[in-house]
Structure 1
Amino acid sequence: MKYNLQSQYYSDFNTIDVNRLPGRSYFIPYASRAEQEGVPLTEKRYRSSLVKCLNGNWDFKYYNDPKDLPLALDTDSVEFDTIDVPSVWQYRGYSHPMYLNVRYPFAYNPPNIPTTEPVGRYFSAMDGFKTAPADEMNHVGLYRTFFDVKDTSKRHVVSFLGVCSCIEVHLNGQFVGYSEESHNTAEFNLTPYIHEGSNEMVCIVRRWCNGTYLECQDMFRNNGIFRDVLLRITDINDVWDLDFKTRCLGEAYSADVTAYIADNEPVKFTLEGNGISQSLEAKAIEGQAKVCFQDLDVIEWNAENPVLYDLYIETRYSCTHQRVGFKHIDVKGNLYLFNDHRIKFKGVNHHDTDARNGYCMTAKEIERDLLVCKKFNIDTIRTSHYAPDPLLIELAAELGIYIVDEVDIETHGVFAMKLPPSYNRISNDSRWRTHYLSRTQRHYLRDKLLSTPIIMWSLGNESGGGCNTDATYNYFKSVSDIPVHYESEIYTRRKAYDIASRMYPPVKELHE
């Protein structure tokens, strides 16, 4: 099948996405309440009849030199290898793992990136010399898979839970869309492009894009489709998004629940557990069905006693089950109060990483990491420095682990250049504001339904500060009452955010 690959969105600073669906909550719908009963959390996304997991062996062609990628692609003439999805190509024999801490993997010249030429030797003030190797290229991975469609009247949405650094999606010879931001979900509506029977999906993944300037984290740099790929097959009138927000009203709580669904569709909301069993019904008006559970005498969630309740959202087409908890947080002066109590968090930074598979972690491996944390009395995880697989947050709620949920923004390579005003060069450059806000908004929207264990939103890491971090802080404050943390506030002395932290303090300061 033939495809036109002429687009250069990956190097177009003004293009963050094309035809990517708006951000929304992560959830897994089932055909009925009975279908999802007894399904373990680690298998939830793989057992629904409304969600087809596209993981497995995909056709793959690796282009070390991006100029070798044919702009007029005929998949019938490509000599494909095979690669397992999810995975990263550096751990499958293509290219090599690269570890970087502070500097960028190419010459600092934002928003420009290497496109078809080698990066060359480039200057890094921190290293004090022109950095090698000079022959690094912006490699490209060409992916292909097939899936069957039985009913073209259903809404077919493909969800990529993680792709580095960007993805361009094509289906049956037609361009579908483009997305940046490696560690957040990218969804595309495939409905206009599908047909009954076998469908061919082709994806172009590039090593670097403009967004790479915001992903300069201290870690091994990997590339590929590294998290699950899900095909969601639902009725076009069914639930698209969900909200769940709690309020502490003295001795009792209330819970506001919203289902975003077609007008006049009836929705049944049920909250159960620990002596509570309530059901409310509503019909959608202007695309929203809303209810409020009131006067709830609940057991508050915390790490020592992670009590959760069962929330069911049932429509004529599906049932979504979500485990939810109740908590409230206050920041009074220099005190952080969790459920009205002073608290000390004993935590670690957590990267989604595996010795054999890089960024790619299975559900069981994520669960293993959290169980190790509990075993060693670690009660808090900072998702350094990006949104984790959403399963990690769901498991944290079940096991009793607090989450500092961090946005996928780090511009540490600016610091390596030692150029005034150093750290703030991107974070205080208003041209990047749309990029910062896009990442922050989609981060919140993905995790809002999972927020039970989230004790702080984090604006990112080691990026200086300025108008862009101010904008992301203001966004969080407009949508959530969870406090906002930012590591680099301590260096910018902005005093604008809820919680400041100090990375790498000297031992003397710790004693003081």
Structure 2
Amino acid sequence: MPFRPYSVTDYVEDVSPGHGALPPRARYSSSDAASLSLNGTWRFRLSGTADAEDDSFAAAEYDAGGWAEVRVPGHWVLQGHGSPIYTNHLYPFPVDPPRVPTENPTGDHRLVFDLPRDWPGPSDGGAVLRFDGVESCARVWLNGTDLGEFKGSRLPHEFAVGDLLRATGNVLAVRVHQWSAGSYLEDQDQWWLPGIFRDVTLLHRPAGSALDFFVHASYDHRRGTGTLRVDSDVDGRVTVPDLGIDIGTGDEATVPVEPWSAEIPRLYDAVLATEGERVPLRIGFRTVELSDGLIKVNGRAVLFKGVNRHEWHPERGRALDPQTMREDVLLMKRHNVNAVRTSHYPPHPAFLDLCDEYGLWVIDECDLETHGFTEQGWRGNPVDDDRWTPALLDRAARMVERDKNHPCVVVWSLGNEAGTGRGLTAMADWIHHRDPSRPVHYEGDVDCRDTDVYSRMYAGHAEVERIGRGLDGGPARRRELPFILCEYAHAMGNGPGGLADYQRLFERHDRLQGGFVWEWIDHGIAHPELGYAYGGDFGEELHDGNFVCDGLVFPDRRPSPGLVEYKKVIEPVAVAGDGADGTVRITNKYDFADLSALAFTWSYQVDGETVESGGLPVPALAPGESADVKLPQPPPGAPAGEALWTVRAVLAADAPWAPRDHLVAWGQIRVTERRVPYVAATARPVRDDGVLTLGPGTFDARTGALTAIGGVAVSAPRLDVWRATTDNDDGAAWQSDVRYGPLWRKLGLHRMRHRLDGVLADEDALTVRTRVAPAARELGLATVYRWTSDGGRLRLTVSVGPEGDWQVPLPRLGVRFGLPAADRVRWFGGGPGEAYPDTRSAAAIGRWRSTVDDLQTPYVRPQENGARVDVRWVELGGLRIEGDPEFLLTVRRWTGEHLDAAAHRTDLTPGDQVWVNLDHAQHGIGSQSCGPGPLPQYHLHAEPAEFSFVFTPAPGTV
């Protein structure tokens, strides 16, 4: 008998989008139609292969009492059944499209449910069973009837079921395969997580109800009017009470309106009434157009200050609840983010409702990525294979039809990193025809043949500037289009660096319409032993490590220093001025809103302490306008010292997204310079029985090593040039530029040796000469420590001279020492959070307090973190330390070497000392985990340097 393939391949490996599902349509909720959520606890059985079990479980009489239970929405691999898999772009199965492995985890889901007592009968219309998201392929039965199957994990699919429903004992059976032909189209950089992960809903469809409708609500900025037309497949009437509109479907009405924008998201409540139901609408009037080579909304060019957003929750994966989605939107608004690219699939529809309500520009992206075909030079890529085109068009249609009535959606995106081909052209043509009111985006279309936006990923600053100046060349069509960075500033671990430098370019050149930071959230999975797990922690054969942890918020949604920096860089009000003349220039950087919603305050600070503060009258400047505002006279009798003005812009009243007094923007203006600490070298070194004393300092007379200051035991300060490499230091393997982390290790900078060359105690100083160098290299740093004292204070001056041909910058340059005990830290300098040379915009000069533990930044993979910049002085562990010049401060309960060796935060165990780094400088952070490295001005070159610290015993400091 000839071999017969498993019948399951008829749909699992079929390149078509499926069969049995209804055509795509607009998503809406009817006020007159019943609905029943089928979310909750379902029975579940996992099989190792697609054909391991028959389909008898779909029958009503089947006994599933012995099955396990899972939550729906949910992923079974996050509920104790199998394991997640993380890859960036590699397919975790052999690339042989459309075939998938026989080892294909398959989850059978079963739910028995009753209809509500008031559920309408068959004579009152039909019913639809809707799945909002299932990964990756599902076959559906209701009461034993095979409804069909579908692919397209992050897209809605509906089935007509009205004639199959029973009053009680309905049996819904769903077979979900982890792998299918559709998996080849869903190779996004994220965890592979099978399951029914979005809502399942039963919807009543009254007779005479609309199957689909399209709200066209444009705005004419010249006349201040909006034009409304609602096209529907059935006749009805549209009413907008606030506007006095009452028109039939297909008819138009033009009336004065307030437009919708991300800054002022004005929505009008409306109703579409048909013979069968009343559908509530929320209408935002706005027009998107390409004009003068720019994306304009309501006649004005917009500057996207955006993020790429994967859906993620550390316990539930992509099964997000409404509160989590709202939390994302509120965090974005509170951090001045104005745009979201839904990387790389349409989000849960409730997220777009929130974007409409609170105001965010959205690039809505299709559920398409075939990135793994780069390994084959794009051979066999589905987007250039006509057999796959129906599936691609189905995905485009299900996105556009579902989301077309959202005013927040201003750009459609064909997908991400799927190469090029005829299928993408077909998608672009279909979208342009179906919805000409929005431009089409696709980064991979470098010639812009099918798209309306020139889009790039991770272009460096110099290239972005050339593009902004129109010097990039390329096809004529591309040169006429606006430019955005759909991904930039890779927010992996410590970073991203260079945000402020990008923003200056965006604001300088009109053609540059901003960008979208990669990405919003770290995809760490909550783990009882590791804290948060990443790729490889589940025994995956192929994985990409912690590359999945590259967000501006940590897995628990705490903002990272990167998000705090981004908020400052993109703040919508600029504050600048000259402390000498007491004038501050306020500039409105909004695209649409004036400054009437903001209140401004000033404070006058001396040595970090606020002396006086008050309100600052600022006119309600229109977008783009500036005004010079006079500050008050410095308070009479203010103490002498380093003086600053700090001007803040806060919400004048509660907003939907933040309370009154929420900080929106701020700036600082220097009035007087800092007084540099001076220590007269009046004390003399005294030697006694192997101990040398100089002022409050005690030293080992043989080695010159400091052992105590004023009775506080210390581990002697020594030159430190190593930092636990950041994800951006280590870079991505495919980066063509220099990756500093590997070079630093190759040179041996993580294992420097200290040679004592001489100790000299003369009349007014103790001088210790050393050479600091890595094994196996001729490179070195001649280092001299010179100690002086005035009797009460101890000054250390460090002089460093490079020896040999240094071809790479240093990670850091400073001293490190240990204290036996320290918990609380107080400092005057940049704060309150972490900052580095190219991530310092958000560091405000002031007096700050913290515990040692709170100074640590909890990156999912431990790495260099927690530095505070521009520190004038710090008090901790019974010492006060002043710097000349200002320094970077890092305090932690483990050494940099221990930090470097840790794979998870749970690997870090506090020791018996607190380690303090006083850095003259550090190398920049950059974005090279996927983007460019630090700009040249942030490189720490190995060159002669000298810096000093003044130590004073401070017994009250603990």
Indicate whether the TM-score tops 0.5.
Answer: yes
Alpha carbons 1:166, 1:208 under 8 Å: kept: yes
Please state if 1:484 is matched with 2:444: no
SS in 2 for 1:299: coil
CA–CA distance in 2 between the matches of 1:362 and 1:423?
39
Moved more, 430-439 or 375-384: 430-439
The aligned counterpart of 2:167 is: 196
SS in 2 for 1:28: coil
AA partner of residue 62 (structure 1): L
CA deviation map 1:328-351 (0-9, x unaligned): 122135322221112210000001
Pick the aligned partner of 1:338 from 281, 284, 297: 297
Pick the aligned partner of 1:76 from 62, 67, 71: 62
AA partner of residue 185 (structure 2): L
The aligned counterpart of 1:425 is: 381
CA–CA distance in 2 between the matches of 1:144 and 1:386?
27
CA deviation map 1:8-46 (0-9, x unaligned): 443342532211000000000112xxxxxxxxxxxxxxx
Change (3 A) 1:496 1:423: farther
Change (3 A) 1:391 1:196: same
Alpha carbons 1:169, 1:204 under 8 Å: kept: yes
Please state if 1:21 is matched with 2:22: yes
Q: Which has the higher contact order (CA 8 A, sep 6+)?
A: 1
The aligned counterpart of 1:258 is: 231
Change (3 A) 1:423 1:15: closer
AA partner of residue 106 (structure 1): F
The aligned counterpart of 1:279 is: 246
SS in 2 for 1:487: coil
The aligned counterpart of 2:421 is: 466
Moved more, 438-447 or 234-243: 234-243
Alpha carbons 2:308, 2:343 under 8 Å: kept: yes
SS in 1 for 2:231: strand
The aligned counterpart of 2:458 is: 504
Change (3 A) 1:267 1:332: closer
CA–CA distance in 1 between the matches of 2:7 and 2:98?
20
Pick the aligned partner of 1:55 from 26, 39, 58: 39
Deviation at 1:494, TM superposition (A): 4.8
Please state if 1:308 is matched with 2:264: no
AA partner of residue 312 (structure 1): V
The aligned counterpart of 2:210 is: 239
CA–CA distance in 1 between the matches of 2:228 and 2:339?
25
Q: How does 1:108-147 map to 2 (within 5 A)?
A: 108-114=95-101, 116=102, 137-147=103-113
CA–CA distance in 2 between the matches of 1:485 and 1:460?
8
Please state if 1:414 is matched with 2:370: no
The aligned counterpart of 1:373 is: 332
AA partner of residue 478 (structure 1): H
Alpha carbons 1:152, 1:195 under 8 Å: kept: no
Pick the aligned partner of 2:310 from 344, 351, 375: 351
Deviation at 1:424, TM superposition (A): 8.0
CA–CA distance in 2 between the matches of 1:9 and 1:187?
21
SS in 1 for 2:387: helix
CA–CA distance in 2 between the matches of 1:185 and 1:400?
24
The aligned counterpart of 1:173 is: 144
SS in 1 for 2:241: strand
CA deviation map 1:275-318 (0-9, x unaligned): x122224xxxxxxxx24242221111111111111120123442
SS in 1 for 2:404: helix
The aligned counterpart of 1:434 is: 390
AA partner of residue 81 (structure 1): A
What are structure 1's unaligned runs of at least 5 residues? 32-48, 117-136, 282-289
Deviation at 1:388, TM superposition (A): 0.5
Please state if 1:325 is matched with 2:284: yes
> How many pairs were matched up?
450
Alpha carbons 2:310, 2:342 under 8 Å: kept: yes
CA–CA distance in 2 between the matches of 1:240 and 1:431?
29
Q: What fraction of aligned residue pairs are identical, expressed as a percent? A: 30
Alpha carbons 2:15, 2:98 under 8 Å: kept: no
Q: How does 1:2-17 map to 2 (within 5 A)?
A: 7-17=8-18
The aligned counterpart of 2:873 is: none
AA partner of residue 61 (structure 1): R
CA–CA distance in 2 between the matches of 1:470 and 1:66?
34
Alpha carbons 1:329, 1:339 under 8 Å: kept: yes
The aligned counterpart of 2:537 is: none
CA–CA distance in 1 between the matches of 2:275 and 2:429?
38
Deviation at 1:216, TM superposition (A): 0.3
Change (3 A) 1:349 1:317: same
The aligned counterpart of 1:44 is: none
The aligned counterpart of 1:267 is: 236
Change (3 A) 1:174 1:194: same
CA–CA distance in 2 between the matches of 1:69 and 1:500?
49
The aligned counterpart of 2:73 is: 86
AA partner of residue 112 (structure 2): F
SS in 2 for 1:30: coil
CA–CA distance in 1 between the matches of 2:184 and 2:13?
13
Change (3 A) 1:71 1:424: closer
CA–CA distance in 1 between the matches of 2:63 and 2:111?
15
Alpha carbons 1:159, 1:187 under 8 Å: kept: yes
Alpha carbons 2:15, 2:388 under 8 Å: kept: no
The aligned counterpart of 2:430 is: 475
CA–CA distance in 2 between the matches of 1:152 and 1:479?
34
CA–CA distance in 1 between the matches of 2:259 and 2:218?
12
Alpha carbons 1:424, 1:466 under 8 Å: kept: no
CA–CA distance in 2 between the matches of 1:389 and 1:183?
8
AA partner of residue 460 (structure 1): G
CA deviation map 1:157-206 (0-9, x unaligned): 11101110011110111111111100010100112322332211111111
Change (3 A) 1:494 1:456: closer
SS in 1 for 2:264: coil
CA–CA distance in 1 between the matches of 2:196 and 2:387?
29
The aligned counterpart of 1:38 is: none
What are structure 2's unaligned runs of at least 5 residues? 1-5, 467-958
CA–CA distance in 2 between the matches of 1:67 and 1:229?
25
CA–CA distance in 2 between the matches of 1:464 and 1:185?
25
TM-score by length of 1: 0.84
CA deviation map 1:131-163 (0-9, x unaligned): xxxxxx310111111222452333111110111
SS in 1 for 2:304: coil
CA–CA distance in 2 between the matches of 1:435 and 1:372?
36
Moved more, 501-510 or 68-77: 68-77
CA–CA distance in 2 between the matches of 1:194 and 1:93?
32
CA deviation map 1:378-398 (0-9, x unaligned): 000000000111111111011
AA partner of residue 443 (structure 2): E
The root-mean-square deviation of aligned C-alpha atoms, in Å, is: 2.0
Greater helix percent: which structure? 1
Alpha carbons 2:228, 2:254 under 8 Å: kept: no
The aligned counterpart of 1:99 is: 86
Deviation at 1:241, TM superposition (A): 1.5
Change (3 A) 1:424 1:326: farther
Pick the aligned partner of 1:394 from 353, 365, 370: 353
